[in-house]
Structure 1
């Protein structure tokens, strides 16, 4: 049976909370997993992934699922700042022991995967991303004529899924950036994060999904050129993040278990 502690405040100033899912076998060697939810930085909540939290706890991880501030009320770098603040809170809290940093791993879905990469660069946590978005400045520069829309099929009468994806991609990037500004987009690019402590990273993406594959390949090439270890799994189809999560959860956990044992 999984024990759930809900709405634990980790940032009183912004009233930000996390849920914690405790496995049965909690002890001094407990493995800790942070799950970052997606939603394009403008939507999504820890409450949306309760079932996943239970599954992760049943796999043996004390699982924490934090919320973070959302656009348009809070634009870049608000969510990034919140992710960093959350980890600092966790490491200083009663939920971790002094040497628990080596027992922490991450999974992030969609832009939650982007936040996970940001955190991994700072702390070195082994990380799996599901459809992380990593390239913004080049994409925005190369798609000036795409009209941003959250609901491209209805609002713009788009019928091609690729066009709908592009419209939505531009919408959430612009929404989180707060304005059309290349300087901000470059700061949002994952290759411009502090990646000095980046450890084991596994990225999973679909071949024809919302996240442009060329941006993923560009980021992987960047990491390789900077001597980072990375695994990239491209799966067939058009599914994004949580759409394929259940099919690749075991593979993701196997990767994380292996990194903890090393």
Structure 2
């Protein structure tokens, strides 16, 4: 049995809430997993993820799925600030003990993966990303002729899957940034995050999907140049993040279990 506490307020001033899924055998040794939802920073909600929350709790993690402010009403850096504020709330809440920062792991789906990388570099949380978008500033420059659209097939009459994905990539990026200001776009390029405290990281991406694989390989090279450890799993097909979530959820958990064992031995 999983106990679910819904709509726990973590930021009163912004009315931001999280759902918490407690495993049946919760103890002081229970590990904590934060799941960051995707949705291009303009849609998505913790309320869509009950099935995953239950699965993660049944795997032994106290699981928190927070909401954050969405574009276009709330532009960059709102979502990233909310993720950081959530960590501060969690570490000072009654749901964690004094030294629980070492017990926190993350999974981030799509743009939630971008935010999870930001936090992983800052706090050292072992992390798994599913199709995290990584590069924006040069991508926007190189796609000046792409018309942004969240539904390129119906809105623009596009039939090429790559063009549809490119239109959507540009749409959600500009929806969050609010402009093509390169100095702002660079701030969500993952290679510009501070990875001083990065620990274990596993990235999962499909071979041909919304997140360009070339940007993933460039990011892996960037991390390697800083002597960071990272695993990359490239799966066949065109699925993005939640498209393959159920098939790779247990593999993600296996990776996080192994990081926990390594930390316990250290």
Same fold judged by TM-score > 0.5?
yes
For the residue of structure 2 that corresponds to 1:229, the secondary structure is coil
Q: Which residue of 2 aligns with 1:176?
A: 176
Partners of 1:135 and 1:192 lie apart in 2 by 10
Q: What corresponds to 2:220 in structure 1? A: 220
Match of 2:148 in 1: 148
Residue 138 of structure 1 pairs with residue 138 of structure 2: yes
Q: How far is 1:58 from its partner? A: 0.4
Matched residue, 1:80: 80
* Secondary structure at the counterpart of residue 41 of structure 1: coil
Residue 9 of structure 1 aligns with which residue? 9
Q: Residue 18 of structure 1 aligns to a residue in which SS?
A: strand
Q: How does 1:60-209 map to 2 (within 5 A)?
A: 60-209=60-209
**May I ask how many residue pairs the two structures share in their alignment?**
262
Give the structure 2 partner of residue 252 of structure 1: 252
Alignment RMSD: 0.6
Cα distance in 2 for residues equivalent to 1:178 and 1:15: 23
Deviation at 1:193, TM superposition (A): 1.0
Which residue does 1:19 correspond to in 2?
19
Following the alignment from structure 1 to structure 2, what is the Cα–Cα distance between the partners of residues 80 and 248? 25
Instruction: Tell me the distance in 2 between the aligned counterparts of 1:204 and 1:79.
Output: 22
Distance in 1, matches of 2:19 and 2:112, equals: 16
Give the TM-score, by structure 2 length. Answer: 0.98
Distance 2:138 2:195 in 1: 20
Instruction: Tell me the TM-score normalised to structure 1 length.
Output: 0.99
CA–CA distance in structure 1, aligned partners of residues 216 and 13 of structure 2: 35
SS of 1:146's equivalent?
A: coil
Structure 1's consecutive aligned runs of 4 or more residues displaced over 6 angstroms after TM superposition are none
CA distance in 1, matches of 2:221, 2:142: 19
